[in-house]
Homo-oligomer: A and B are copies of this chain.
């Protein structure tokens, strides 16, 4: 529900056109998460269906101005006020590794190393970007990079841990 609530949050600031929301969203998220403009409109339609936003008819000037409703503000406040989902979302990488281990006949180490390589590469890109960012102006972008970097670091740590645990278990089949 990121896009949904993201747009709601933007509209809480001031009414806007669908097209503008796309730009705002991308500016705020430093273009790390591009948003297809079509998705803005589908999402707005769903928000309208749920009574969280309204828009004047486009009849007059072919551009609709979207506004958040009272219910919308309540929903937004609830979103802000409650921590992001309590139980862990399905993690594709973890599932991949776990089923690979369970399968037995798969070269798990190769998977781990390939993933590690890819993740470290992304990590370096982001670290590079971070050095070039201006802490005064690009605060949001910087925070975003921090998030990506910390996540990637955690992933690398986990991959290493997997290898270690596997090695520690594996001593069998060989002298």
Q: Which residues of A contact B (CB under 8 A)?
A: 1-3, 5-6, 9-10, 12-13, 24, 28-29, 32-33, 79-88, 90-106, 111, 114-115, 117-119, 122, 135-136, 139-140, 142-144, 146-148, 150-151, 153-155, 157-158, 161-162, 165, 169
Nearest first, the 7 closest Cβ-Cβ pairs linking A and B are: A83-B118, A154-B154, A9-B99, A150-B154, A2-B92, A2-B90, A83-B115
Pair B103/A9 contact, Cβ less than 8 Å: yes
CB nearest neighbor in B for A89? B33
CA distance A99 to B1 in the complex (A): 14
B-side contacts of A33, CB under 8 Å: 88, 90, 95
CA distance A29 to B89 in the complex (A): 12
- Known: A118-B86, A140-B102, A162-B143. Contact between A92 and B153, CB under 8 A? no
CA distance A87 to B98 in the complex (A): 22
CA distance A12 to B93 in the complex (A): 18
Secondary structure class of chain A's binding surface, majority of residues: helix
CB distance from A166 to the nearest CB of B (A): 8
CA distance A46 to B115 in the complex (A): 27
Pair A99/B10 contact, Cβ less than 8 Å: yes
Pair B158/A147 contact, Cβ less than 8 Å: yes
Known pairs A94-B147, A101-B139 / 13 extra A-B pairs, C-beta < 8 Å: A2-B92, A10-B99, A29-B94, A80-B100, A80-B106, A81-B114, A83-B117, A83-B119, A84-B96, A93-B147, A94-B143, A101-B140, A151-B151
